[in-house]
Amino acid sequence: MISKVIDLRSDTITKPGQAMREAIAHAEVGDDVFAEDATAKHLQERVAALLGKEAGLFVPSGTMGNQVSIKSHTNPGDEVICEKESHCFHYEGGGPALLSGVQLRSLRGKRGTITVEEIKPALRPADHHFPRSRLIVLENTHNRAGGAIFSLETMANIYDFAKSNGLAVHLDGARLWNAHIATGIPLSEYGKYVDSASLCFSKGLGAPVGSVVVGSRDFIDRAHRFRKIFGGGMRQIGILAAACLFALDHNLQRLKEDHDNAHELAGFLTSCEGISVDLEATQTNIVIAHFEKMPAAEFAERCMKKNLLCIPFSAQSVRFVTHLDVYRSDIQEAMNIIESIIKAR
Ligand SMILES: Cc1ncc(COP(=O)(O)O)c(C=O)c1O
């Protein structure tokens, strides 16, 4: 018998089920470049309302959501403050420099969080020698920090500080849904303390494609122009937006299951000799395990041979992500596989 592959590499690997495909098949569509796609409009309005913002814009990816936002907030030569392990600093191909002509000032945070105390000294004086500090980018939840949640209180302090100093705040909220479900804090509360946010549907929510950027009407108007310039203006996107709406209706509340599964796995991993997990950071659906005795690549390779997939995150750490297509029984099986690997070594 061929055993099931348990894929814990990422929450982006989920495949649309039959009901989501039905929603896609029945979607009302129009040419979105002419702003005639009713389903996309509905999605944009709904996400904007959830975050308490005036308008929303569908974009094909979280990366484009962040990049059109950075472009819409800045001018070339400006400086953008972000956290050292953030997605926009690590994984967006140098997009801010390439597409917006800005430089990133990355600050080392704790579990993905930076504070006003850390941002304050990084602010550039109003002197022509310096770049102009213009934007702060936050990430909630934080991928490289193991799905850690950025506290609302810290976000509020940063927002107040930014407003007093003429800076904008953008939130990479690719997994803000997870923060919302884990904390019970309404999305509109998070929305209060940012000028713009980008939320993904193709991660924990399980849609095949799509993110929505939200902000003021003026901001979204600028973002709309840059989306077109960056090649993200698409036509009958209602078929994609329908999957996102379906995901919002059916897959949001169940994120708690992913969090419970991640906690179960994290607890088990910490009980294994030679493995540690920062349990304080493990607040949502990501688990980063540190290996004292085995290189991460070797561990991942051994797991793969037993049909368990995970991603080496650094030389000594491995990332596991729980998602829609992973059940509690899969987590049990994953733990059995890991135990057998540790014992065999
Ligand atoms: C925190 C965060 N932001 C942005 C992105 C980019 O999303 P996409 O892969 O859709 O470009 C990711 C992708 O995993 C992410 O983890």
pLDDT in tens, 138-148: 999 999 999 99
Ligand 1 near 61 CB (within 6 A): yes
Q: Where are the beta strands (DSSP E) in 158-210?
A: 168-173, 196-200
Based on the fold, state whether residues 152 and 280 are members of the same structural domain: no
Residue closest by Cα to atom 4 of ligand 1: 62
Q: Which atom of ligand 1 is nearest to the CA of 66?
A: 4
The C-alpha atoms of residue 301 and residue 63 are separated, in whole angstroms, by 29
Nearest to 330 by CA among 2, 1, 3: 3
Centre of ligand 1 from the C-alpha of residue 173, in Å: 9
Query: Of residues 153 and 4, which shows the higher confidence score?
Result: 153
- Name the pLDDT band for 3 (thresholds 50, 70, 90): confident
CA of 108 to the centre of ligand 1 (A): 20
With a 6 A CB cut-off, is 210 part of the ligand 1 pocket? Answer: no
Residues 70 and 185 in one domain: yes
In this prediction the pTM is 0.97
Pair 154, 284 in one domain: no
Q: Are residues 58 and 159 in the same domain?
A: yes
User: How far, in Å, from the CA of 32 to the mean position of ligand 1?
Assistant: 23
CA of 296 to the centre of ligand 1 (A): 22
Ligand 1, residue 64: give the atom nearest the CA. 11
Q: Measured from the CB, is residue 11 less than 6 Å from ligand 1?
A: no
What are the Cα distances from residue 268, in Å, to 273, 289, 296, 332, 338?
10, 11, 17, 10, 10
Residues 186 and 335 in one domain: no
- In DSSP terms, 197 is beta-bridged to 171, 214
Taking residues 78-96, what's their average pLDDT?
98
> Is 337 inside any structural domain?
yes
Residue 343 CA to residue 280 CA, distance in Å, equals: 27
Atom of ligand 1 nearest to the CA of 86: 1
Residue type, 251: N
Beta strand 211-215 with 55-59 is antiparallel
In a domain, 263, yes or no: yes
Decide if 192 contacts 165 (C-beta within 8 A): no
Helix (H, G, I), strand (E, B) or coil at 182: helix
Q: Are 276 and 314 in contact (CB under 8 A)?
A: no
Residue 1: is its pLDDT beyond 70?
A: no
68 lines ligand 1 (CB under 6 A): no
User: Can you tell me whether residue 72 is helix, strand or coil?
Assistant: helix
State which residues form the domain around 137: 18-250
Residue bearing tokens 């927002």: 159
* Tokens encoding 345: 């070594």
Output the domain CATH number for residue 288: 3.90.1150.10
Strand ranges across the sheet with 311-314: 275-277, 286-291, 317-321, 311-314
Q: Ligand 1 centroid vs 147 CA: distance in angstroms?
A: 12
